[in-house]
Structures are given as structure tokens and as C-alpha cells.
Amino acid sequence: MLNEEPGFALTSSPESVSLKMDPTGKVYVALQAPFWGNSPETVATQVLAEQLQIDPQDIIVTYSDSDHGLNGTGPGGSRFTVMLAGAVVGAAQQLREKLIRVAAHMMEADTNDLELRDGKVGVRGVPGMEKTFAEVALHAHYFRLSMPDDPSLTSGLDAAHVYDHPVTTLPADDRKDLGIFYPIMGHMCHLPVVEVDIETGKVRFLAYVAVHDCGTLVNPMTLAGHVRGGVAQGIGTALYERYYYDRQGQLLTASFMDYLIPTLHELPEEIVVGHVETPSPFTEYGIKGGGEGGRMGAPPAVASAVEDALKPLGVKIDALPLTPRYLRTLMREAQARQAAAAA
């Protein structure tokens, strides 16, 4: 009997950050998920610098350990930039509010008249009337008794925020409404041009173009690296990577001596990356996911390109990886069918 009930039904996938401004005005960001090569430090620094109008050099990114960190799901599923940006924005708004409250007391100004600008809190329209973050932070840390008697105005400047995507919803019980499971997906188009040696079955790349729509670009350089790395792994899926077992079920490709992954020699000389920006209405800054595009776009695109190259032979591809041995088998079978049809 088919059991349609999931055995471990999670309904949230949050991300979190905590912030602390020290008495010199420097901000420490604690991320709650591991670093997997997707440049979360860059994302956190850029978003926080914009939110607080602070020099990126005054932002230090650290990591919490698993025992002391806040809720976090971590990188995976093209979600991390979207979720991390949401968490940083939420925490930054809390820190901004306290900065302005302390500065308002120091300058005897109304909080509604203050703004953050270039590492300072100042009065709108009055360039000289301002306090640096260092001045405000020093006051917040060490002069609590000189501030208003407000229980929420505690010593120091810190904030934390757990971000759950506000648009995500569960499916209806009757399944007529499947809910909004993943409102952060990007889109991509991959165009590989390949040449197949019909004698050896070797596939050679003549060109490769990958165009992605990841919404608003946070950092085009790191995103392009993300896409290129994903393309490399996708090419590995398409042409090389496979588990082989013997008759006893023993894995024969248990190390990279036997399990093939592409190197620079097997990849295109240049992977041209393009970006289309269609901001999402559901995320902070309009960001969409970008992590999956390379590895998910490359395998079907490469398979289609190889099939198109071998179209004169009548080759049809329905399985991966397209190893030289497998391609030679497909070509021999296609040629045999053509010969039989001609006979």
C-alpha cells in the first residue's frame, strides 16, 4: 500500500544572523550555516553595508558553531542568498533602530529626523549635525545610565533575526491548492556547441554559453563563478560520472582514481556567462536563486547537443553519462539499424 504521508514532514526552512557593533563602530556578523564555497561572507557584507550605510571594511563576518547558532538550514537548493539577505535585512533594521535611538538622545533630536549616512547618524538635510557610528556605539556600550530610563534601551548594540520566507505556504489538504513551495527559483538557458568523434566517441566543446535570470544581481563575479562551477559539475554528470558495482555489489569507483570528474582539459575553453535581471516580487532586493542553474542546466543541454551532432546517424539519447564506450555503442546500433533498413 502506498503511503503518501511523509515520514519526517518539515514545514520551515529558516536562515538567521546575529549582529554586534563594538565600541569602535565595527560590525560583527555571525552566520549560522557552514561555508560551502558559495561566498556568503560577500553577500552578508554587501547587504549589511547597504542597509547600515557603512564601509564594508568595517564589517567582520564570523561563524557560529552548531551548539550556539540560531536556526539555519544552510546552503542548498538555490536558497541561501535569498534567505541570508532576508535575515541580514531583518537584523540590520533592528540595529539601525537602536543606533538612531541612541544618537537621538545624544543630539537631542527626534528619531524621525535622523538617517544613516556614510558610517554616521545625522539629521536629514543638515550635513554637519551628525555622530559617527563609533561615537554612538561607545555611548551605547558604556553610558547606559546617561540615557533615558527605557527597559528596551539596554547597553550595547546587537541584534538577531530568524528569517522564514513570508510567501511560502503549505498545500491544502485536498491538494486543490499545492501551496507556494519555492518562491525563489531562477531561470536559465544553456547553449553548448559540441563535436563528437565518431571513431572514438569523445565529445569536444566548441563553445558554451549560459544565460541566467537570478533576479537582482548581488555580486555578478561570484555568481558567474557559481554558474561556471555548476556547469563543470553538470558536464561531469553528462559525460563522465557514474557508479560501477561488481556482481557482489562492491563499489568499484570509490575514489577519484576510478570515479571520473572533469578537469580543465575536458571543459570548454571558455564558459560565457550572461545575466538577465527580472527582480522577484517575493524576496528582499528581488533576488532569486542561482546555485542550481549550472549543474541542472548542463546535463540536458549537453545531451541534446550530442544527440543533435549525431542526428545524421539516427542516434537517440535516453541515458547518462555519455561515455565514449556508451556513445560508440549507440552509434554502432544506429548504423546497424540504418544498414538493415537500407537492405
When the pLDDT of each residue in the chain is averaged and rounded to a whole number, the result is 92
Cell of 298: 548542463
Residue 2: its pLDDT value, please?
59
Tell me which residue range forms the domain holding 29: 15-163
- The answer on 313 and 221 residing in a single domain is yes
pLDDT tens readout for residues 75-87: 888 889 999 999 9
Are 89 and 284 within 8 A, CB to CB? yes
Residue 174: its pLDDT value, please?
87
- The answer on 243 and 155 residing in a single domain is no
**Where is the domain boundary, 107, 131, 163?**
163
- The answer on 193 and 159 residing in a single domain is no
- The answer on 148 and 19 residing in a single domain is yes
Q: Kindly indicate the confidence band of residue 309, based on its pLDDT and cuts at 50, 70 and 90.
A: very high
- The answer on 294 and 217 residing in a single domain is yes
In a domain, 2, yes or no: no
Q: Which helix or strand (DSSP H or E) is residue 227 part of?
A: helix 220-239
How far, in Å, CA of 48 to CA of 205, rounded? 41
In a domain, 45, yes or no: yes
- The answer on 335 and 192 residing in a single domain is yes
Question: Residues with Cβ < 8 Å from 77, sequence gap 6 or more?
Answer: 182, 289, 291, 292
In a domain, 19, yes or no: yes
- The answer on 287 and 151 residing in a single domain is no
Owner of C-alpha cell 536556526: 71
Whether the pLDDT of residue 23 is over 70: the answer is yes
Whether the pLDDT of residue 203 is over 90: the answer is yes
In a domain, 211, yes or no: yes
In a domain, 335, yes or no: yes
Residue 324: its pLDDT value, please?
95
- The answer on 265 and 228 residing in a single domain is yes
In a domain, 282, yes or no: yes
Whether the pLDDT of residue 6 is over 70: the answer is no
- 3 state SS of 274: strand
The CATH number covering residue 57 comes to: 3.30.365.10
Residue 8: its pLDDT value, please?
61
pLDDT tens readout for residues 34-81: 777 678 999 999 999 999 999 999 999 999 988 888 888 888 888 899
- Number of separate domains in the chain: 2
Lowest mean pLDDT among 3-17, 41-55, 214-228, 260-274: 3-17
- The answer on 207 and 156 residing in a single domain is no
Residue 3: its pLDDT value, please?
59
Lowest mean pLDDT among 44-48, 103-107, 174-178, 246-250: 174-178
